[in-house]
Structure 1
């Protein structure tokens, strides 16, 4: 047999054996190594959590916890990993894969390079780190990142699995800080990354195990909140009861911040035993103010069989979603596309569990030289104004100054061409520009761009012109408040080109339903009345590109949805 064929067969057998064999080897060892839970020994040694942890002084104020959807430089995994190589290869297509290897004289590194030969990795985007760890859940024990006055830093915490079995895992944030040269801070709060999400503005959310587990280390709720503010800049901490009723109580098993004012929460059929608790937490967030001043837009993803669709991972302009090769996968991906227009959304199949999927096994690493843009968007109907002020806080963390001619607002009205206006530096990191009033009954779309002298650049929104901020120069439509898809009604796709689908749950099929489409200026474009149908298709071909509002009325209840018509 040809030697090259023999080599190829050998590699193929090795890869298949390795990807399945790691799991089997783990199963034959201790169950906790492949189950996302405490071992029996760890349960008996919970009093040792935090025993060897050395807290540091908090960082100088002000600081802000970075959101997952902010600029990142790479993805941290531990190898051997419970992740398929096609996913890891896809990460390297645009971003850096940081591989944490055990200290074994290079044998694991050789194994890794051999194992990936059949996959399309960009090997220039792979960075190897050698350090001791116990498990592959880098999300749970990996570092939290903060933006300080002059640098991006790492905040460590007491890993809530740090009993006798996983002391090495708890050392990883300090190790990453040293290897990648981040400033390092350590707070003595018992926590885990899978139970933490933040919005980049000082708002965060977790389930209440952050309180109960820190109490075992002698901290009250008030002390936990104080430390979260001192180390992470969290001034508003949404700590809620976990609605899933599982052993793990991690927020990423049922919810996820998608943007400053967007949160995705799983939904289940009314017959599901956790239906009431899941709906209660969704209602809670619907009634909370985001850092942008509006109530959270609560998006839903259907998980009737406890699919782990919320356990996704955002990396710059891409979203990696765990899928199950089931009937609800396409709908789950569409839920993300509706909520995150402009992002590249992809599904990845693996042996995911409802409490252990993609997000649990990866961790973002912040870009310590990022250009960071913060801005409160101008949104909705603005009425009659003589001018519009666009203001942003922009910081170049490379140490190089921003280019004075490269801090811009790009804007356009209705369907015109993009124009730009230079933002002026005023004080500190504040930049602004004032534009004269636009014509009435127009839609203004805009995004902010900044570049520094090191070559770093950024846009806000991060996807820029693909999904800009938008507002209307009219107050005709202020009576309509866009909401998001509920369990009763789904509207997709968004953006839409030709046909808009409106789906109803079984309870509404027999009811009379009224559908109205309005332009952003308040002009009624369509009125449809239907009954006895589970899905209605509406042609959008004759409508101009822009923003529209869909008003669905049924049983004396009105729901409104905002969509974008775009000729792609």
Structure 2
């Protein structure tokens, strides 16, 4: 397969992949609340495109079929949890075909059970979801989550050293070895590594989609912290300085769009990793996670400048952050032309 390309998130999509929260997930203690949140998110996404929703059993499938939009396709597959961004297939393509890469998912460095989630991509292929233009790519020799990858769609990848160099993911692999591996597997010309930036309560070891995101090939939106009393101040100031040193593939500085630091959310004496960088790009729209704060509208306003031709709207994600994730974390885009 020649001329490999890892598509940007703003490339046209066939659908968004999601997984329904159920009694065997970590959502069990707040199931009604989070299922209501999922219904709202799915209803918003289906204004713009289809949703592929994984459900745990036939009973749940039949129940949801009665209430969901016809733009929701239900597939019965067992799951440990609902973080589709990190266990879902990572698509690369050339002019005619796709490869759905199936990297190993090990619960963000062996923190959580992932035995069922790690089988999902293989099972998706057996359902007949994908058309004949899609080939399956077994990459289970390497641990990688979609939330760790941010691409401009033109051969540049943005990621973090803290996540990809985690010893509980790929052992003693060096930065150079991982850099070369990603270039080969994802059709990249270069990798931009962020060495700074984190969010308290984050289980992912600083996934890039919690910190900084491509909006166009020359624009990056990022979390900015200007409050010197906030625990994130030093790390995020250093991250901002790093971003200012990065250059586009043509050698120009990036257009940097700051997103506000989300107001502090504490549950059971723990600060949760609320972030506006966890937005989702769908066809003709950008959905922004909101947390019931005055900062919500500031974040939406900032992203409207980054996506002037898109509908930009907020989606309540306060329930999601209680399990340390947000909107982008529970979704994975499937590129246009890959589905039957």
TM-score bracket relative to the smaller structure = 0.7 to 0.9
Shift of 1:122: 3.7
Give runs of aligned pairs for residues 138-177 of structure 1, distance below 5 A.
138-161=84-107, 165-177=113-125
Which residue of structure 1 lines up, in the alignment, with residue 245 of structure 2?
287
2:228 aligned to which of 270, 283, 289 = 270
- How far apart, CA to CA, are the structure 2 residues paired with 1:274 and 1:325? 21
- How far apart, CA to CA, are the structure 2 residues paired with 1:97 and 1:336? 23
Shift of 1:212: 2.4
Q: Which has the higher strand share?
A: 1
2:335 aligned to which of 357, 366, 373 = 366
Which residue of structure 1 lines up, in the alignment, with residue 281 of structure 2?
314
- How far apart, CA to CA, are the structure 1 residues paired with 2:146 and 2:276? 17
Shift of 1:356: 0.8
Matched residue SS, 1:310: coil
1:201-239 deviations in Å (ceiling 9; x for gaps): 111122222122476445332221222112101221122
1:137 aligned to which of 83, 100, 112 = 83
1:198 aligned to which of 144, 151, 157 = 151
- How far apart, CA to CA, are the structure 1 residues paired with 2:41 and 2:12? 20
TM-score by length of 2: 0.82
- How far apart, CA to CA, are the structure 1 residues paired with 2:291 and 2:304? 18
**Number of residue-to-residue matches in the alignment:** 304
Shift of 1:305: 2.2
- How far apart, CA to CA, are the structure 2 residues paired with 1:224 and 1:241? 15
Contact kept? 2:12, 2:283, Cα under 8 Å: yes
- How far apart, CA to CA, are the structure 1 residues paired with 2:252 and 2:123? 39
2:185 aligned to which of 212, 226, 231 = 231
Contact kept? 1:322, 1:348, Cα under 8 Å: yes
Contact kept? 1:261, 1:292, Cα under 8 Å: no
Q: Which has the higher helix share?
A: 2
- How far apart, CA to CA, are the structure 2 residues paired with 1:63 and 1:132? 32
Moved more, 209-218 or 244-253: 209-218
Query: Are residues 141 and 356 of structure 1, via their aligned partners in 2, closer, same or farther at CA, if it must alter by over 3 Å?
Result: same
1:45-99 deviations in Å (ceiling 9; x for gaps): xxxxxxxxxxxxxxx3321111111111101111236443122112112200111
Matched residue SS, 2:165: helix
- How far apart, CA to CA, are the structure 2 residues paired with 1:297 and 1:245? 23
2:36 matched to 1:79? no
Which residue of structure 1 lines up, in the alignment, with residue 267 of structure 2?
none
Matched residue SS, 1:331: helix
Query: Are residues 166 and 160 of structure 1, via their aligned partners in 2, closer, same or farther at CA, if it must alter by over 3 Å?
Result: closer
Matched residue SS, 2:116: helix
List alignment gaps of at least 5 residues for structure 2.
Answer: 23-33, 265-273
1:345 aligned to which of 305, 312, 319 = 312
Which residue of structure 2 lines up, in the alignment, with residue 186 of structure 1?
138
- How far apart, CA to CA, are the structure 1 residues paired with 2:52 and 2:220? 28
Contact kept? 2:48, 2:284, Cα under 8 Å: no
Shift of 1:270: 2.8
Which residue of structure 2 lines up, in the alignment, with residue 430 of structure 1?
none
1:252 aligned to which of 196, 199, 209 = 209
Contact kept? 2:18, 2:51, Cα under 8 Å: yes
- How far apart, CA to CA, are the structure 1 residues paired with 2:210 and 2:196? 9
Query: Are residues 197 and 160 of structure 1, via their aligned partners in 2, closer, same or farther at CA, if it must alter by over 3 Å?
Result: farther
CA root-mean-square deviation? 2.4
Give runs of aligned pairs for residues 355-394 of structure 1, distance below 5 A.
355-368=324-337
- How far apart, CA to CA, are the structure 1 residues paired with 2:309 and 2:170? 44
Query: Are residues 343 and 149 of structure 1, via their aligned partners in 2, closer, same or farther at CA, if it must alter by over 3 Å?
Result: closer
1:358-398 deviations in Å (ceiling 9; x for gaps): 1111111111369xxxxxxxxxxxxxxxxxxxxxxxxxxx9
2:267 matched to 1:299? no
Please list every run of at least 4 consecutive aligned residues from structure 1 whose deviation after the TM superposition is greater than 4 angstroms. Answer: none
1:94 aligned to which of 41, 48, 57 = 48
Shift of 1:154: 1.0
- How far apart, CA to CA, are the structure 1 residues paired with 2:91 and 2:170? 25
- How far apart, CA to CA, are the structure 1 residues paired with 2:277 and 2:169? 28
Give runs of aligned pairs for residues 29-40 of structure 1, distance below 5 A.
none
Matched residue SS, 1:64: coil
Shift of 1:304: 4.8
Query: Are residues 242 and 195 of structure 1, via their aligned partners in 2, closer, same or farther at CA, if it must alter by over 3 Å?
Result: farther
Matched residue SS, 2:121: helix
Higher relative contact order (CA 8 A, sep 6+): 2
Shift of 1:292: 5.1
1:411-439 deviations in Å (ceiling 9; x for gaps): xxxxxxxxxxxxxxxxxxxxxxxxxxxxx
Query: Are residues 152 and 263 of structure 1, via their aligned partners in 2, closer, same or farther at CA, if it must alter by over 3 Å?
Result: same
